[in-house]
Structure 1
Amino acid sequence: MGAVIAEQAPLKAEDAADLIRLLQSRQCPNCRLADADLVHANLRDADLKGARLQRANLGQARLDGADLSGADLSFTSLRGASLRGANLLGAKIYGTDLRDADLAGATLDNDALEEAHWQGAKAIATEARSHAALHNAGVEAAQNGRWPEAEHLFSEAIMRQPKEPLSWVARGIARSEQAKDDLAASDFRYAGSLFQSKGNSALSDQLRQAADTVQKRRTQTNKQPPGNGWGGHILSGMTAAAQVLAPLAIKAFVPMGLGF
């Protein structure tokens, strides 16, 4: 029943004896496995409660049904790993690489992925991603020109925090870049109403003007093709235009560098 780690498994870990114990039995609660090389390891149903796995490489590992509750996964690579049904409650997920991992049925704390890398991960429970994490992922997608993905992520962020106007503005930009004129205008107007309720009349007026501008684009399609920078263009006169797609500060829904 020993695990398979590619073809050769260098016994590199904080405690080599603990690593051998894990590979032989898959039962290693509280093991000291920092820096372990466990690429492609078959650790299905492994007991790793409270294990120290900082900086370990578990890329492409099979961890379906594994108990990682309370484990320290700081800066651990789980890229492409299968974590279907895994227990990650109480795990420290700081700087953890979960990109392209399969998290179907995995149990995580609310907002557990706030400080992790999870782009491309599958089947993440909605409650595991905070508003800020979703918004910031949308920002990254937008900055790389992936507008449909950005729109989807901003929509999820809005579901988590519907009264945060910046996510409505950001989704409006993403929709404008895809020539979804009416939807973009609606987002800008609603964001304007939220800023108005916060006492920011100037920004509210600018967003209403942006909404009018994007809706007028239908009559200008011969002059300006759909997309092609319209989202930024229509907001070019706003005080916050250059920063409106800035990442939100962790645990403080204030965009970095903004003054409103």
Structure 2
Amino acid sequence: MKSLISATAAFIATISLTTTVQAANTEHVKQLLATKQCQNCDLTGAGLVLADLSGANLSGANLTGANLSRANLSGADLRGANLSGAGLFGVNLSEAKLSGANLTNADLRNSYLANAQLTGAYLNGVNFQGAVGIPSQIASPEDFYAWGVAEAEKGNQQQAITYFNQAIAIKPKYAGAYLARGIARYQALDREGAFQDAQIAEQLFTSQNNSPGSQTAQAFMKELQRRPDEKVSTGSPSFFDFLGSLSSVLLQLLQF
């Protein structure tokens, strides 16, 4: 019985120690919220949802696992900060300084990154889905393409087009991105823009010897040339009306 009590006490002590180690320094949290000055602070696991931290000095701070969802960090100094595993959903990081920051496995979905400085930042495992203003140098054309497809599936055509634009800017001969952008434009009721993209996609697919892609682009152009009153269905077309079950084409679009 004594051994059981001792073991239980040891376990509780271990849990308590772990909690203490992982909890944010409350004085540092108060200091941050009161002054916006918290260089090298210990803010591990801090709850800072919706906090107004615009222009705050958090350089070198430890924000591991902190919840900063929808916080305003515009213009904040986060150089060298540790944000690994941090919740940054919907956060405003426009103009923020993040050079050398550790953002490993951070959640940056739906965040705002316009003009954010990310030189030398560690970005392994970061979730950028739905983020606005992602610097082109931190993601591949395929990343932007995949994010664009995901946004288009959700009906966010303008955001999808923005992602496809970025994919094309990095990789000008990315046929799949042109075709995907054309379909997104079609759903946004820009038939002229859609047709132009489909033409470019068809030419690129042909030059790259991608027959399935070329055939898909041709089918899309043929659909665009039909009069609106010839359509059988009504309402806005689905993003996958012309890609549908062509899973092999979708896979190839990531490469061409």
TM-score (norm. length: structure 2): 0.70
Are 2:86 and 2:105, in contact at CA under 8 Å, matched by a contact in 1?
Answer: yes
Call closer, same or farther: CA 1:222–1:40 in 2, change over 3 Å: closer
**Aligned equivalent of 1:33:** 43
Taking the aligned partners of 2:69 and 2:181, their CA distance within structure 1 comes to: 33
Indicate if the aligned counterparts of 1:151 and 1:171 stay in contact, CA closer than 8 A.
yes
Deviation at 1:206, TM superposition (A): 0.8
Question: Match of 2:248?
Answer: 240
- Structure 1 residue 94 and structure 2 residue 104: aligned? yes
CA contact (8 A) 2:84 2:105 kept: yes
Q: Which residue of 1 aligns with 2:81?
A: 71
- CA distance in 1 between counterparts of 2:246 and 2:72 reads 49
Q: Which moved more, 1:79-88 or 1:161-170?
A: 79-88
Distance in 1 between residues matched to 2:56 and 2:245, nearest whole Å: 56
Would the alpha carbon gap of residues 50 and 132 (structure 1) be closer, same or farther in structure 2, given more than 3 Å must change? farther
Q: 1:210 aligns with which of 213, 219, 226?
A: 219
Question: CA contact under 8 A between 1:210 and 1:235: conserved in structure 2?
Answer: no
- 1:166 equivalent to 2:173? Answer no
Q: Distance in 2 between matches of 1:145 and 1:42?
A: 31
Separation in 1 of the partners of 2:43 and 2:55?
A: 17
Q: In the aligned structure 1, how far is the partner of 2:87 from the partner of 2:224?
A: 46
Q: Give, in whole Å, the separation in 2 of the partners of 1:179 and 1:226.
A: 11
Judge which range, 20-29 or 54-63, deviates more: 20-29
Q: 1:210 to 1:113 in 2, by over 3 A?
A: farther
> Could you tell me the percent identity over the aligned residues?
34
**Contact 1:110–1:127, Cα closer than 8 Å, also in 2:** no
SS across alignment from 1:39: coil
Please report how far the alpha carbon of residue 186 of structure 1 lies from its aligned counterpart in structure 2 after TM superposition: 2.8
- What is the Cα deviation at residue 36 of structure 1? 1.7
The answer for the alignment partner of 2:11 in structure 1 is none
Change (3 A) 1:197 1:62: same
- Equivalent position SS for 1:53: coil
- Taking the aligned partners of 1:172 and 1:180, their CA distance within structure 2 comes to 9
1:191-228 deviation digits (Å, cap 9, x = unpaired): 2322333333x235414532442233227535344643
In structure 2, stretches of 5+ residues that fail to align are: 1-18
Higher helix share: 2
Instruction: State the alpha-carbon separation in 1 of the partners of residues 120 and 193 from structure 2.
Output: 30
The verdict on how the C-alpha distance between 1:110 and 1:183 changes in structure 2, with shifts beyond 3 A counting, is farther
Q: Residues 205 and 22 of structure 1: is their aligned pair in 2 closer, same or farther, counting only changes over 3 Å? A: closer
User: Which of 210, 223, 228 matches 2:237?
Assistant: 228
1:155 aligns with 2:162: no
- 2:101 and 2:224 map into 1 onto residues whose CA distance is 47
Q: Please, what TM-score do these two structures have when normalized by structure 1? A: 0.69
Q: Contact 1:31 / 1:50 at 8 angstroms: preserved in 2? A: yes
On the 8 A contact 2:98/2:121 being kept in 1, the answer is: no
Tell me whether 1:117 sits opposite 2:128 in the alignment. yes
Distance in 2, matches of 1:105 and 1:222, equals 44
Deviates more, 1:72-81 or 1:236-245: 236-245
Q: Which amino acid aligns with 2:145?
A: H
8 Å contact from structure 1 (residues 13, 36) kept in 2: no
Aligned-residue RMSD, C-alpha: 3.7
One-letter code of the match for 1:240?
A: S
**Larger Rg, first or second structure (1 or 2):** 2
1:38 Cα offset (Å): 2.4
CA distance in 2, matches of 1:178, 1:208: 18
Paired residues of 1:189 and 1:207 also in contact (CA < 8 A): no
